[in-house]
Structure 1
Amino acid sequence: MLSPEDYETGCLMAQEDEERLSPAQDEGYQSFIVKYNQNVYGQEEYASDSTFQVIDDYFAIVYTPLEKGREPEITSYSYNSIPKCYTYMDVEALNASGVTRLHEHPYLKLRGRGTAVAVIDSGIDYTNPVFQDENGSKILCLWDQTIPGEGNEGAPFGRVFTKREIDKALGEEEPLSIVPSMDTNGHGTMVAGAAAGSMREQEDFSGAAPEASLIIIKLKPAKRYLREFYLLPANAEAFQEDDLMLAVSFAMEQAKKYRMPLSICIGLGTSQGAHLGYSPLSQFAGSAASFSQNSISVAAGNEGMARHHFDGNIGEGGEEETAELRIGEDTDGFTMELWGEPSENYQITIQSPTGENLEVSTAVRSTTQELSFVFVETKILVNYIAIERQSGNSLVFFRFLHPAAGLWRIKVRGDGRERARFHIWLPVTGLIPEGTYFLQSSPYYTVTSPGDSIECMTSTAYQYRDNSLFLEASRGFTPIGSVKPNFAAPGVGIRVPLLSGGFGEASGSSLAAAQTAGIAALMFEWAVIRGNEPFFSGNSVKNYLQRGARRDEGLSYPNPEWGYGRVNLYHTFELLT
């Protein structure tokens, strides 16, 4: 197996071939996600030193030099144009989901042959035997966004390695001299293994779709300016939204090239946004999942017990609702978002641990407000947006700079005309310092984005040994009542390949999404490869799995914890006969 030292050696060998940085990789450029609706002439509206990168017929990215553009500010640009930051949704499962019986079924024997599973994550240890078969590597192509360069093989930047190059690397003593790409933390390797790792009977291991091919995208880390804007912890592993969108687009183009039905797995998430499926990534992924022979499986998240969500109601007559927020010691900063129904003007007062109260002005909407406290060295930057253009809801965006530790209170009241509901979300675990949470939190409405996309399959995690819900699992529904998660898949104590070359156990909704992605590949094999339903789409997969989900007596379905129940592919096929 490859070690970090091998990776450094391989990178040094590849330095001679490096090209100059593309704007997507250059820390001197900022990104904006725009809707251009196939209006290529709209590019003329941007400065001559900006770069326009098309994602699809609807979305594009504009890269603008930082020194000539303003620092990101919610009121200077539209909220959705600034890329959000995403991170990992992790903290004998196949029998529980009815997959093993279909691997060995005398007539079906579904194993994913002829299909492709795309994993968008931290990369892959391509030297691991679970990603090889009798024909060499199972990987059709590997796009490493972190390698400097202006792209090849249809990728707009980074470096794409083909199966031929990977097979050649596997025959070398130093494979990284040929393919200098490595998964440095093992997350992508685990997810890819759970979705489509080859059968290894001696190790009692198999991915959900062991004969599916793989398309791997290694995401580059979020740029420094975004990390600073969102006040992320120094050690946070974060990825930016526009890179994820390009990864989805790349996977779809590669599947077309190889003429394979495609199942995409996204084991990442964020709590940014209104949780309504309106973020650019949620919209784009949802659109992609509705295409024939494409499906997208996403993680529901692990925010159920994180205490990062406050659910508030304000009544008629100017009643006040207070969210008590505990901020931990040595916190450099974090962001927070309040989303409310647009019928109200939200009057917000912030009280520091010393009892000092400062009000957020509802009149200042074109610029950032600065709240500076006298008795604590804390500054809060606030953007008040009465009507956020995509969702139509009210948004108050907070940036806490060097907040004092202790108990803070966010007091919210309306103008007294009618009852209204609002939500406050903190960043997901991993993107906020530990020790910061709401004292009276709600586990509901915590499904992360892009899990809020209506068309995507959103999987929560459960313990397959006793059919109990993963304790940390995010709960639904969405604030407008859309059923999320769609169903539960095994995601606790899952046997996965490790960077060491052995196997271990891992838990989290990322792995539930991986299981679902593999199951989708099996369904595509039955529907498309075997000609039963040639125009099968992601919506088809989702609806079949919802119909065949196992449900417990005494519970009503769909529900915010389980969606439509525990995914069971064998039962789905039983209902087809």
Structure 2
Amino acid sequence: MDEKKGSTIVSEEYADLIEYYLNNPKSLNQYVGADIHYMNEAFAIVHLPVSLITESAISTFGYNAIPKLYGVTSEASLQASGVYKLSQSLDLRGRGVLIGIIDSGIDYTNPVFKKSDGSTKIISIWDQTLTTGATPFGPEFGSEYNSDQINQALASQNPLGIVPSVDEIGHGTMLSAIAVGNEVPEQGFAGVAPESDLIIVKLRTAKKYLRDFYAVKKDVPCYQENHIMWGIQYCSELARKLNRPIVILTGMGTSQGSHKGYEPLPTLLSIIGDYPNTVAVVPVGNEGNRKRHYHGGSKMSNGYNTVELNVGETDEGFSMELWGDAPGIYTIDILSPSGEYISKLPLSLRLSKEISFIFEQTKIYIDYQLSQTPTGEQLILMRFKNVSAGIWKFNVYSQSTITGDFDIWLPMGNMISYNTFFTTSDNDITLLTPGAAVLPIVVTAYNVANNSLYLDASRGYNRDNVVKPELAAPGVNYIAPNQNKEYVAYTGSSVAAAHTAGIVAMILEWGVVRGNAPGLDTIEVKNYLIRSTIKPKDLTFPNRDWGYGIINVYNVFDILKRTL
């Protein structure tokens, strides 16, 4: 790889901004001398010296321009979702369909990813972390390895000497195996669509400056929004180049954002998921019972709500976001564990403020934006550094005669410990982004053994009251291979999303490859699946937990037989 080519993209000396430029390069004229990479006609990524990203970067560049940090969303039955019955009766195994997985990579040497002749099921691996191979078209970083190179590696005594891409944490390997893996009877494992082909994107981990900005520990796997966006774009362009239908799956999520799905990544996923022969699938998240969401506002006593946040001993820093419904106006005051009081923030159109404490080492960086593009809602972003353990209290005041609601979210997954939580929390609206976006198929996890919802599954709806998740799929104690070829039990909504991606591949085989319904897109496939769901007894549907019910692909074709 040319050392200059893409160097600003991967360099720790450069920061990344996401700009929604809508095919108007003149809108980027403010970035004089910056390195700009155009992802597509909607988004461009701007690379600036990292020294320009100060604590007031949100006020300087805008909230949506600063990439969000995403984490993985997981910690066994094919009969339950109708896959086995359908594959036997209609012989649908995902033939001719691509599944693009943007995650932690893949153990491409695992036999579950080989065809019957020993060749690979993988069309391409784009490893964003490597510089030894050719860069892919479009993005000018990482290394791309095609199926010929992977087959050459598989035939070698030293595969990694030819294709040196590995999956260090196993999450991407697990997702890929669930979607397309060969049956391994002795392990009780079988992938859903074993004759689909894979496009794999191994994501770079987030740059240090961004981890520092959001106060995320260096040992926690997390990924930048713009790198995931490049992966989505790559999968889409390669599928169009090959003229094949594709399911796009990412097992990542973030609790940052409005929870309405208007941030850059969910916007891109919605644009691409609307293309013909393309379906986007994402997990809802695993935040339902972790006490990381507070909901308040409409029933304020004395004109304010008191929010209590317990901060654990091991959490030295984190971010917290308050989103208030427009046209309401909110402000806060702060009481630290030692009793130090910070008076109400002044009302402002846009404010960036650093708060220091006399008796504690804590610093809080606050960005206050009265109207956040494009939702028009108010945002108060708080970033805690060297935070003291104990109970922090925030009084949230309504400063408007129009009373609405507000929501506050803490980081997801392992970005904070379980010991940091709201003492009074709300399990609803705990879905992660991009699961809050309207267009993608959003999947929650349930336990096939007893037909119960996964205990920690995130709940909907999104903040526009759109039904999310739409579907429930197997996702508890799901046996699948890890990066060491060991078969272990996985649990989480990304497991359920991978299962669903395989089911969608079967529908695309029937509709697009066999010519029964050419041009299928995300919305059409979603509606097929919703109409065919199995609904647990004694519940009203749709609901915030199960969406429209349990996925069953056999029912899809049973309905189609009666309507076509």
- 1:258 CA displacement: 1.8
Aligned match for 2:101, one of 99, 102, 119? 119
Aligned match for 1:83, one of 51, 62, 67? 67
Q: Which residue identity does 1:148 align to in structure 2?
A: T
**1:25 and 2:10 aligned:** yes
Match of 1:243 in 2: 227
What is the 5 A alignment of 1:464-543? Answer: 464-543=448-527
Q: Which residue identity does 1:129 align to in structure 2?
A: P
Maintained 8 Å contact 2:303/2:398: yes
- 1:503 CA displacement: 1.6
- Please state whether the residue corresponding to 1:322 is helix, strand or coil: strand
Match of 2:282 in 1: 298
Aligned match for 2:130, one of 144, 147, 152? 147
Maintained 8 Å contact 1:345/1:362: no
- 1:319 CA displacement: 1.9
- 1:36 CA displacement: 1.4
- 1:208 CA displacement: 1.0
Aligned match for 1:333, one of 317, 332, 350? 317
Maintained 8 Å contact 2:19/2:46: yes
Aligned match for 2:243, one of 245, 248, 259? 259
- Please state whether the residue corresponding to 2:443 is helix, strand or coil: strand
CA distance in 2, matches of 1:141, 1:196: 15
Closer/same/farther in 2, CA of residues 187 and 363 from structure 1, 3 Å limit: same
| CA distances 1:354-390 after superposition (whole Å, capped 9, x unpaired) | 2222124234554421222223222211111111121
Match of 1:560 in 2: 544
Closer/same/farther in 2, CA of residues 75 and 318 from structure 1, 3 Å limit: farther
| CA distances 1:207-264 after superposition (whole Å, capped 9, x unpaired) | 1111000000000001111000000022111100001111000001111122210001
Q: Which residue identity does 1:213 align to in structure 2?
A: D
Moved more, 77-86 or 545-554: 545-554
What is the 5 A alignment of 1:48-63? Answer: 48=33, 50-63=34-47
Match of 1:234 in 2: 218
Mind listing any 5+ residue stretches in structure 1 that lack a counterpart?
1-16
CA distance in 1, matches of 2:31, 2:76: 54
Moved more, 327-336 or 216-225: 327-336
Maintained 8 Å contact 1:143/1:159: yes
Q: Which residue identity does 1:54 align to in structure 2?
A: Y
Match of 1:450 in 2: 434
Maintained 8 Å contact 2:56/2:367: no
CA distance in 2, matches of 1:91, 1:201: 23
CA distance in 1, matches of 2:527, 2:27: 38
- Please state whether the residue corresponding to 1:275 is helix, strand or coil: coil
**1:272 and 2:256 aligned:** yes
CA distance in 2, matches of 1:33, 1:96: 41
- 1:53 CA displacement: 1.2
Identical residues among aligned pairs (%): 39
Match of 2:338 in 1: 354
What is the 5 A alignment of 1:164-313? Answer: 164-313=148-297
Maintained 8 Å contact 1:292/1:535: yes
CA distance in 1, matches of 2:61, 2:2: 34
Maintained 8 Å contact 1:362/1:384: no
CA distance in 2, matches of 1:495, 1:317: 49
- 1:423 CA displacement: 0.3
- Please state whether the residue corresponding to 1:409 is helix, strand or coil: strand
| CA distances 1:121-149 after superposition (whole Å, capped 9, x unpaired) | 00000000000013400000000000137
| CA distances 1:278-309 after superposition (whole Å, capped 9, x unpaired) | 11101110111111100111010000011100
Closer/same/farther in 2, CA of residues 72 and 134 from structure 1, 3 Å limit: farther
Moved more, 245-254 or 306-315: 306-315
Aligned match for 1:35, one of 20, 42, 45? 20
- Please state whether the residue corresponding to 1:199 is helix, strand or coil: coil
Aligned match for 2:412, one of 404, 420, 428? 428
- Please state whether the residue corresponding to 2:60 is helix, strand or coil: coil
Give RMSD over aligned pairs.
1.7
CA distance in 2, matches of 1:300, 1:544: 19
Maintained 8 Å contact 1:317/1:415: no
CA distance in 1, matches of 2:68, 2:473: 27
- 1:200 CA displacement: 2.8
What is the 5 A alignment of 1:331-410? Answer: 331-410=315-394
| CA distances 1:529-552 after superposition (whole Å, capped 9, x unpaired) | 111001111111111001101002
CA distance in 2, matches of 1:146, 1:36: 27
- Please state whether the residue corresponding to 1:324 is helix, strand or coil: strand
| CA distances 1:78-97 after superposition (whole Å, capped 9, x unpaired) | 11011000000012321111
CA distance in 2, matches of 1:72, 1:382: 9
Maintained 8 Å contact 2:308/2:423: yes
Closer/same/farther in 2, CA of residues 124 and 18 from structure 1, 3 Å limit: farther
- 1:314 CA displacement: 4.3
Aligned residues: 558
Mind listing any 5+ residue stretches in structure 2 that lack a counterpart?
none
- Please state whether the residue corresponding to 2:529 is helix, strand or coil: helix
- 1:45 CA displacement: 4.0
Match of 1:5 in 2: none
CA distance in 1, matches of 2:265, 2:56: 19
- 1:347 CA displacement: 2.7
Maintained 8 Å contact 1:318/1:413: no
Moved more, 358-367 or 328-337: 358-367
Closer/same/farther in 2, CA of residues 68 and 81 from structure 1, 3 Å limit: closer
CA distance in 2, matches of 1:328, 1:397: 20
Match of 1:14 in 2: none
Match of 1:160 in 2: 144
Maintained 8 Å contact 1:315/1:418: no
Please report the TM-score for the alignment, with normalisation by the length of structure 1.
Answer: 0.94
- 1:331 CA displacement: 2.5
- Please state whether the residue corresponding to 1:185 is helix, strand or coil: coil
- Please state whether the residue corresponding to 2:8 is helix, strand or coil: coil
CA distance in 1, matches of 2:199, 2:56: 33
Maintained 8 Å contact 1:72/1:229: no
Please report the TM-score for the alignment, with normalisation by the length of structure 2.
Answer: 0.96
Aligned match for 2:84, one of 100, 108, 114? 100
- Please state whether the residue corresponding to 1:83 is helix, strand or coil: coil
- 1:33 CA displacement: 0.7
Q: Which residue identity does 1:247 align to in structure 2?
A: G
